[in-house]
Amino acid sequence: MQREILFATNNAHKLEEVKAILGDGYRLVTLRERGITEEIPEEQPTIEGNALQKVRYVHARSGADCFADDTGLEVAALGGAPGVHSARYATEGHDFEANVRLLLHNLEGVSDRRARFRTVVALILDGQEYTFEGIVNGTIAESPRGGEGFGYDPVFIPDGYAETFAQMPAGLKNAISHRAIAVRRFAEFMQERREV
C-alpha cells in the first residue's frame, strides 16, 4: 500500500526526480492538490533553515506529514556563493539561465572551479522534525553543456565524470546527485519507520 506524503514544491522537475528516487511505496501529494498555491517563504540564511521554514509553513496549513527540500550550489572561489541564494542569484525570479550567466561571469579567469551541490530535506512526520543532507562535489564547466536537468546542471561536472549533470541520462543523475543522496537517506528513514 502506498503511503501518501505531501511534498512542499511546485517544481515539476524536482517532483519527477524525487518520485524516481523514492519509488513505488509512496504517493507524493502536491501543494496544488492540497490547495496551497501561494509562494512558500524562503527567508533563512542557511539551506537547512530554508528547508525547515518551508516544511513548517506547509505543515501548519495542511496538518499533513510533509517534506521540503532546499538546495544550493556552493562555489569555493566565491566564498560558498551562490549558496542559499542559488535560485535568486541573478534576479528575484527563478531565472536559471541568468543565474548561470552570472556565475560564469564571476568565475571568468578563475582557475579554482571547485564547487559542491548541497541539498537538505526537512521532514515533519507525526509532529516530529527530521533533516537529511546530501552533498556532491565537482567543478564548474567553462560554458553550459547538455540539455537535460535544470538549474545549474549545464555547468556542474560531478567528481569522477567528464559530463555535466545536464549531459547525463536522468537515471544516472538521479543515482549520484545531491538530491538523490538526501532523498535516499529520507527514504531509508521512512522505510525503517514502516518496518517498526
pLDDT interval class at 4 (50, 70, 90): confident
Known binding residue 137? Answer is no
- Look at phi and psi of residue 186 and say left if phi exceeds 0, alpha if psi is from -120 to 50, else beta: alpha
pLDDT digits (tens, 9 = 90+) for 81-92: 999 999 889 987
Known binding residue 26? Answer is no
Number of C-beta neighbours around residue 24 at 10 A:
7
Known binding residue 174? Answer is no
Q: Which grid coordinates are listed for 96?
A: 536559471
From CA 50, how far away is CA 54, in angstroms rounded? 6
Residue 112 among the catalytic residues: no
Known binding residue 153? Answer is yes
Q: Which of 108-112, 125-129, 189-193 has the lowest mean pLDDT?
A: 189-193
Known binding residue 180? Answer is no
- Annotated catalytic residue, options 24, 65, 69, 70: 70
Q: Which grid coordinates are listed for 61?
A: 496549513
pLDDT digits (tens, 9 = 90+) for 10-57: 777 788 888 887 878 888 888 998 999 988 888 999 999 999 999 999
Model confidence at 193: pLDDT above 80: no
8 A C-beta contact, residue 64 and residue 29: yes
- For the chain, list the domains and their CATH numbers: 3-195 (3.90.950.10)
Please list the alpha-helical segments (H only) found in the chain. 12-22, 47-62, 96-106, 170-176, 178-195
What b/e readout covers 72-81, taking b as 16+ CB neighbours within 10 angstroms? bbbbeebeeb
Known binding residue 70? Answer is yes
